[in-house]
Amino acid sequence: MIKGEVDMGELPSRVSIREVGPRDGLQNEAPVPTEAKVRLLDALGRTGVGRIEAVSFVHPKAIPQMADADEVWAAATKVDGVRYSALVPNTRGAQRALAAGFTEIEVVVSASDTHNRRNVNRSVDESLDDIAVLIAELRAAGATAEVIVSTSFGCPYEGDVDPRAVARIVDRVVADGADRVSFGDTTGMATPHRVQAVVTAVRERHPDVPLLLHFHNTRGTALANVLTALELGITEFDASVGGLGGCPYAPGATGNVATEEVVHMLHDMGIDTGIDLDALLEAAALAEEIVGRELPSGVLRAGPRTRLVRA
């Protein structure tokens, strides 16, 4: 321990990061060419990251940025040891994902009714009914089903979200057979206090269900939220290379926490991720080139803290 350092208690020795830049990141950017998406996927596969959210199978009118999902996935290099997943909105999307060879599939429901209606034109209960059918179909096909609960820490329309409401959604999807659950900080409303409240409410009812947290840095709290989650025993996180992606309901704000910022912090804390930070920074520079704008990652701008300036 560094002299004067505060003992933070026992933290995980290893953390699993799912890279979501190719899907959640690029989905919120202006459309980029298929070839560029493949280059980014391939570059990320060489960083040592263990999981990548590659594409989403959605209607091209709804998300034109993902209209070439089949072509991207067919051309991408599948790296041994990397688990690739796809997001789907419905049974049709799930069928496409299964046909493409995916065995890890994600589906989304919002914790707030207003956001869910704006997102998919259904109530939360209606979406949960659809998800129950989808989970059964995925498991029958030999695939795993992850349910992402967006707006878990706050809704841009309704404000604060009761952690008990999030826990009730987990009750339902676990009963319906979900393999894992993740919580999305959709517009960056999470704070350490709210992270603790949601994780505690869910863990009290489902201590053994794998949980993953997805933070945005819209209001500058993402790394603080990651640290709080670590202290609560969470070991799985989403992050997006370079901080790719935005917040559609928070105009002008940054979106996903940058993968290299999370990795940089964790490695300095002695927590292993399996990721080569230098290779990740190269991928972040490629992401910036692809989208043609400066990305918000501080570590991409300044470099890691070990990069010294010549006197």
Please name the residue that has the structure tokens 């002299």: 3
Torsion of CA 113, 114, 120, 121, to 10 degrees: 100
Q: Is 61 exposed, middle or buried (0-12, 13-18, 19+ CB in 10 A)?
A: exposed
Active site residue 155: no
Active-site entry in 178, 213, 247, 280: 247
Task: Tell me the residue ranges of DSSP E strands in 178-219.
Answer: 180-184, 211-214
8 Å CB contact between 68 and 60 = no
Helix (H, G, I), strand (E, B), or coil: what is residue 156?
coil
CA distance 191 to 150: 15
Write down the residue that tokens 């998406």 correspond to. Answer: 37
Q: Is 18 helix (H, G, I), strand (E, B) or coil?
A: strand
Look up tokens 């060489």; give the residue.
46
Q: Annotated catalytic sites, by residue?
A: 247
